[in-house]
Structure 1
Amino acid sequence: MSAVDVPEQESWFHRNQQRIAPWLFLAPGLLFFMVYVIIPVFQSFNLSLYEWDGLGAAEYVGFRNYEDLYWELADRDAFYISLKNNLIWLIMYLLAIPAGLFIALFLNQTVWGIRLYKSLFFFPFVISQVVVGLVFTWFYDPTFGLLNEFLGFFGFGPLNVLGDERFVTYGIIFAGLWPQTAYCMILYLTGLNAVDPEQIEAGRLDGAKGGRMLWHIILPQLRPATFIAFVVTIIGALRSFDLISIMTQGGPFGSSRVLAYYMFEVALSEYGFRMGYGAAIAVILFLIMLCFIAYFLWSMYREERGH
């Protein structure tokens, strides 16, 4: 056999390139995720064990910051109000999911002017949260806002939504639901494009229509879109900051605070510069978020195993 006929021995990379290639593509994303998410999470937990004003030397205090949060919770102080408002946000923000689903089902029809309807419903998603906050601040204004003009038409007195402790949180949540519903609508529109028409036709032959068709045939195929909608909506509800900052700055009298805004107040505003205390709030917020997302991941995993 001549030297030309001797096969060259393949390198380890060539033998395993199909297994290595996906990791090479994932590596930049994993690196960014590690640097900007995972490492800051551990840094926040570490910082929560210190008393630090951001300038001087940090003093190790152990779990004292968490003890202070516990006493604020027991005394129904600022942390209690923030946590309660976050739970209200979480419950009411989930209304964006069924609302987005029903709008998507409507926009998935073939009717005259559907492109115009899609543009109108898509519009809130592309505008900034700052703009949303300003628009709804004007909408709620007790002197010239459209809400009070509408109430006055029916003979009701002016209502100061953002100035009343009873209504302010619900008013801000309603403002946040506008773009969040549009986002869920986009997710479901994408999911509806992947629905198997053969299953729908088979369901029609079996007599399924209306609610039965939706529940037994369409919704099971929309599980991935529903899961993403739940995760994104929960994250949006728990990290709500920008609308509160624009519309009320936590007022009146701190009644519209949430954990994210309270963390900003105690850590980075003129009220505090208590970095460790703010980091403790961030850790609590992260753990709440992690519990909800882990629950939905586990539920989805069990459903997949069941099938």
Structure 2
Amino acid sequence: MMTPSSEPIAPLAPPAASWWSKHQISIVPWLFLLPALVMFGVYVIGPIFESIALSFYDWDGLGTPKYIGFGNYVELAGDEDFYIALKNNVIWFFGFLLAIPAGLGLALLLNQKVFGIRLAKSLFFFPFVISQVVIGLVFSWFYDPTNGLLLHVMGFFGMEPVAILSDDTLVTYGIVIAGLYPQIAYCMILYLTGLNNLRPDLIEAARLEGAKGWTMLWKIVLPQLRPATFIAVVVTVVGSLRSFDMVSIMTQGGPFGQSRVLAYYMYEKALSEYGYRMGYGTAIATVLFLLMLVYIVFVLRRVYKQEQETE
């Protein structure tokens, strides 16, 4: 029984929250990302800065590097072969963009529910799983002006044979066509995945409104394929900028260096018997990296804006 002089006992105050309990939601994700960030910094970011620093030196890969400042870049500005490689990269860029509409067209064709369509899908998917070396060799045989398939096709139509890989005006376009072969297959796979995820209620509503053909494709299908288109554009553009393997396999930069791209020209100057100029090669690599960096920044901005719109 409480007496008049007694006072009520105040409840105990809850224990103060620790610093960890207040911040663990924001810290834990970074703890999981830390190993990957460390590996990325050591094996990607570190070598990038090391390569940029090496571009300011004259070094053959064995002796003592000699600092020459912007000497490699000054020489690069007057290098005609560099501009040929840069021009070929531009041709690769615009040529590779054809893979996106071609992949979309094949995906729309193969998305039909008819007998044997799975076999057709597997045949069109086949180029994507083949090694680039195999594709390069096959197209080299295809372009062979002495006994290649192209020779017989042109002869059937009464045309004179053309040595594409020996023609300095056609060689880059011939290699781009070979590179498009697997790239179209990759874009097709992306669009097939997107077509399988279309919203059927929107399709049915559009049909009830009388939409069909180009109207259905433009107004209903393509807006839902925007994520697939975005990925296809990113992968295609990056693939066009780092084109090396097809050039190395089919022409090794020939004839007379007219099929070089920046990646292959970098290899020739830095690592082949024609150069062993590591500083000059890394200067070419730095220019290629800056070109890709501009595009990567643009892509990241687009991704950020899309995430902001969906929130």
User: Which runs of structure 1 show a deviation greater than 6 angstroms over 4 or more consecutive aligned residues?
Assistant: 7-11
Aligned ranges 1:1-307 → 2 under 5 Å: 17-72=24-79, 77-299=80-302, 301-302=304-305
Counterpart-to-counterpart distance in 2, 1:304 and 1:28: 26
80-89 or 39-48, which deviates more: 39-48
Paired residue type of 1:31: V
**CA distance in 1: counterparts of 2:39 and 2:58, whole angstroms:** 29
Q: Partners of 2:34 and 2:113 in 1: how far apart?
A: 43
- The structure having more radius of gyration, on CA atoms, is 2
Q: 1:301 to 1:214 in 2, by over 3 A?
A: farther
| Distance in 1 separating the partners of 2:58 and 2:153 | 51
Give the partner amino acid of 1:137. Answer: S
| Matched length | 298
Task: Structure 1: give runs of 5+ residues left out of the alignment.
Answer: 1-6
3-state DSSP class of the match of 1:143?
A: coil
Q: Write the deviation string for residues 174-224 of structure 1: whole angstroms up to 9, x where unpaired.
A: 000000011111111122222221122222222222112222222122222
Scaled by the length of structure 1, what TM-score is found? 0.90
Shift of 1:226: 1.2
Residue 30 of structure 1: how far off its partner (Å)? 2.6
Q: Deviations over 1:70-128 (max 9, x none)?
A: 112xxxx1001000000000001100011111111122221111110110010000010
Structure 2: segments with no counterpart, 5+ residues = 1-13
- Tell me, in whole angstroms, the C-alpha distance in 1 between the residues paired with 2:21 and 2:116: 55
Moved more, 121-130 or 26-35: 26-35
Compare 17-26 and 151-160 and name the one that shifted more.
17-26
1:140–1:207 distance in 2 versus 1, CA, 3 Å = same
Tell me which moved more, 123-132 or 201-210. 201-210
Quickly say closer, same or farther: Cα 1:304–1:16, change in 2 above 3 A.
closer
Q: Note the C-alpha offset of 1:38.
A: 1.6
Alpha-carbon spacing, 1:243–1:192, altered in 2? closer, same or farther (3 Å): same
Q: What is the aligned-residue RMSD (CA, Å)?
A: 2.2
* Aligned equivalents of 1:32, 1:223: Cα separation in 2: 32
Deviation of the 1:19 alpha carbon = 3.9
* Identical-pair percentage: 65
Give the TM-score normalised by the residue count of structure 2: 0.89
CA distance in 1 between counterparts of 2:255 and 2:34 reads: 47
Equivalent AA in structure 2 for residue 41 of structure 1: I
Shift of 1:156: 1.1
1:22-68 per-residue CA deviation (whole Å, 9 max, x = no partner) reads 33443333333222222221111111111111111111111111111
Farther-moved stretch of structure 1 (7-16 vs 213-222): 7-16
- Structure 2 distance, partners of 1:87, 1:150, is 30
Q: Following the alignment from structure 2 to structure 1, what is the Cα–Cα distance between the partners of residues 304 and 187? A: 22
Q: Could you tell me how far apart the structure 1 residues matched to 2:134 and 2:31 are?
A: 40
Q: Specify whether residues 31 and 266 from structure 1 end up closer, same or farther in structure 2 by C-alpha distance, changes over 3 A only.
A: same
